[in-house]
Structure 1
Amino acid sequence: MSNILDKAKAWLTSTFDSDTVKDVRKLIDTDQKLLEESFFQNLDFGTGGMRGIMGVGTNRINKYTLGKNTQGISNYMKSVFPNEKLKVVIAYDCRRNSKTFAHHVADVFSANGIQVYIFPELRPTPLLSYSVRHLGCQCGIMLTASHNPPEYNGYKVYWKDGGQLVPPQDKEIISEINALEFTDINFNRNSELIEELDDSVENTYLEKAANNVDFNLSEDAKKALNVTFTSLHGTSITTVPKLLEKAGYKNLQLVDAQAEPDPEFSTVKSPNPEEPEALEMAIELANKQKSDLAIGTDPDGDRLGIAVRNKEGKLVLLNGNQTMVLMTWYLLDKMKQNDNLKDSHFIASTIVSTPLMKVLTEAYGVKYMESLTGFKWIAKLIKDNPELDYIGGGEESFGYMVGDFVRDKDANTAILLVCEMAADLKSQGTSVYEQLIKIYKDHGFFKEDLVSLVKRGLEGAEEIKAKMVELRNNPPKEIAGEQVVLIEDYSTSEAKNIQSHETHTLDIPQSNVLIYYTENGTKVAARPSGTEPKIKFYISVNSTLETVDDFESVDEKLNTKIDKIKSDLGLTE
Structure 2
Amino acid sequence: MEAAILEKVNQWLDGPFDENTKAEINKLKNESPEMLADAFYQNLEFGTGGLRGLMGVGTNRMNKYTVGMATQGYANYLVQCFGKDCSVAIAHDCRHNSREFAEITANVFAANGIKVYLFESLRPTPELSFAIRKLGCKGGVVCTASHNPKEYNGYKAYWDDGAQLVPPHDANVIREVEKIKSIDEVKWNGGESLIEIIGKEMDEAYLDMVKELSIYPEICAAQHDLKIVYTPVHGTGIMLVPDALKKFGFTNVNIVKEQSTPDGNFPTVIYPNPEETETMSIGLQKAKELDADILLGTDPDADRVGIGVKNRKGEWVLMNGNQTALLAFNYMIEARKEKGIAKPNDMVIKTIVTTDMIDVIAKRNDVACYNVLTGFKWISSLIREKEGKENYIIGGEESFGLMIGDKIRDKDGVSAVAILCEMAAYEKNKGRTLFDKLVDLYVEYGLYKEALISITKKGMNGAKEIATMM
TM range (shorter): over 0.9
Shift of 1:48: 4.6
Aligned partner letter, 2:141 = I
Partner of 1:18: 19
Distance 1:192 1:47, change over 3 A: closer
State the AA in 2 paired with 1:336: K
Q: Secondary structure at the match of 1:446?
A: coil
Contact 2:89 2:117 in 1 (8 A): yes
CA distance in 2, matches of 1:169, 1:315: 45
In the TM superposition, residue 116 of structure 1 has moved relative to its aligned partner by 1.0
Q: State the 1:325 CA deviation.
A: 0.3
**For 1:239 and 1:362, how far apart are their aligned partners in 2?**
35
Alignment of 1:187-206 (within 5 A): 187-206=188-207
> Counterpart in 2 of 1:64?
65
Are 1:110 and 1:116, in contact at CA under 8 Å, matched by a contact in 2?
A: yes
Write the mapping of 1:481-500 to structure 2, written as runs, cut at 5 A: none
In structure 2, distance between residues paired with 1:9 and 1:246:
56
CA deviation after TM superposition for structure 1 residue 46, in Å: 4.4
Q: Counterpart of 1:496?
A: none
**Residues 223 and 429, structure 2, Cα contact 8 Å, conserved in 1:** no
Matches within 5 A, 1:295-374: 295-374=296-375
For 2:258 and 2:45, how far apart are their aligned partners in 1?
Answer: 35
Residue 460 of structure 2: aligned partner: 458
CA contact (8 A) 2:347 2:392 kept: yes
- Alignment-derived partner of residue 169 in structure 1: 169
Q: Which is helix-richer, 1 or 2?
A: 2
Kept after mapping to 2: 8 A contact 1:324/1:394? yes
| CA–CA distance in structure 1, aligned partners of residues 386 and 14 of structure 2 | 49
TM-score, normalised with respect to structure 2: 0.96
Superposed, which structure 2 residues align to 1:365-514 within 5 Å? 365-386=366-387, 387-468=389-470
Return closer, same or farther for 1:335/1:219 CA change in 2, 3 Å cut-off: closer
* Partner-residue secondary structure (3-state), 2:212: helix
CA distance in 1, matches of 2:342, 2:200: 35
Query: What's the CA shift string for 1:140-184, capped at 9, x where partnerless?
Result: 110100111111011011110000111110100110011112220
Q: Which residue identity is paired with 1:206?
A: L
State the alpha-carbon separation in 2 of the partners of residues 368 and 146 from structure 1: 28
Aligned to 1:74: 75
Structure 1 residue aligned with 2:153: 153
Opposite residue 226 of structure 2, the aligned amino acid is L
Residues paired across the two proteins, number: 467
Instruction: Give the 3-state SS of the residue equivalent to 2:309 in structure 1.
Output: strand
Greater alpha carbon shift after TM alignment, 30-39 vs 427-436: 30-39
In 2, are the aligned partners of 1:306 and 1:318 still within 8 Å (CA)?
yes
Percent identical across equivalent pairs?
44
Secondary structure of the equivalent of 1:453?
A: coil
Structure number, greater radius of gyration: 1
| 1:115-147 CA distance string (max 9 Å, x none) | 111111111000011000111111111010011
Residue 49 of structure 1 deviates from its aligned partner by 3.2
Question: Is contact 2:215–2:335 with CA below 8 Å preserved after alignment?
Answer: no
Task: State whether residues 224 and 423 of structure 1, in contact with CA within 8 Å, keep that contact through their aligned partners in structure 2.
Answer: no
Does the aligned pair in 1 maintain the 2:46–2:177 contact within 8 Å?
A: no
Pairwise CA distance, 1:430: 1.6
Per-residue CA deviations over 1:462-514 (Å, capped at 9, x if unaligned) read 2223233xxxxxxxxxxxxxxxxxxxxxxxxxxxxxxxxxxxxxxxxxxxxxx
* 3-state SS, counterpart of residue 307 of structure 1: strand
Q: Any stretches of 5+ residues in structure 2 without a counterpart?
A: none
Asked whether the 8 Å contact 2:44–2:51 carries over to 1, the reply is yes
Cα 1:287/1:47, change in 2 over 3 Å = farther
Counterpart AA for 1:394: G
Work out the CA distance in 2 between the residues paired with 1:92 and 1:310: 37
Does the aligned pair in 2 maintain the 1:221–1:424 contact within 8 Å? no
Give the Cα separation in 1 of the matches to 2:223 and 2:291: 16
Q: State the distance in 2 between where 1:367 and 1:461 align.
A: 40
Displacement of 1:320: 0.5
Q: In structure 2, what is the equivalent of residue 550 of structure 1?
A: none
Q: Does 1:105 align with 2:105?
A: yes
Which contiguous aligned blocks of 4+ residues in structure 1 show a shift greater than 6 angstroms?
none
Higher relative contact order (CA 8 A, sep 6+): 2
Question: CA contact under 8 A between 1:217 and 1:420: conserved in structure 2?
Answer: no
SS in 1 for 2:42: coil
Distance (whole Å) between structure 2 residues aligned to residue 119 and residue 277 of structure 1: 32
**What SS does structure 1 have at the residue aligned with 2:450?**
strand
User: For 1:389-425, what per-residue CA distance to the aligned partner results, in whole angstroms no more than 9, with x for missing partners?
Assistant: 1110110100000011011000111111111111011
Q: Secondary structure at the match of 2:196?
A: strand
- Tell me the SS of whatever aligns to 2:448: strand
Q: How much has 1:86 moved relative to structure 2?
A: 1.5
Distance in structure 1 (CA, Å) of the matches to 2:380 and 2:50 = 15
| CA distance in structure 1 between the aligned counterparts of 2:150 and 2:267, rounded to whole angstroms | 9
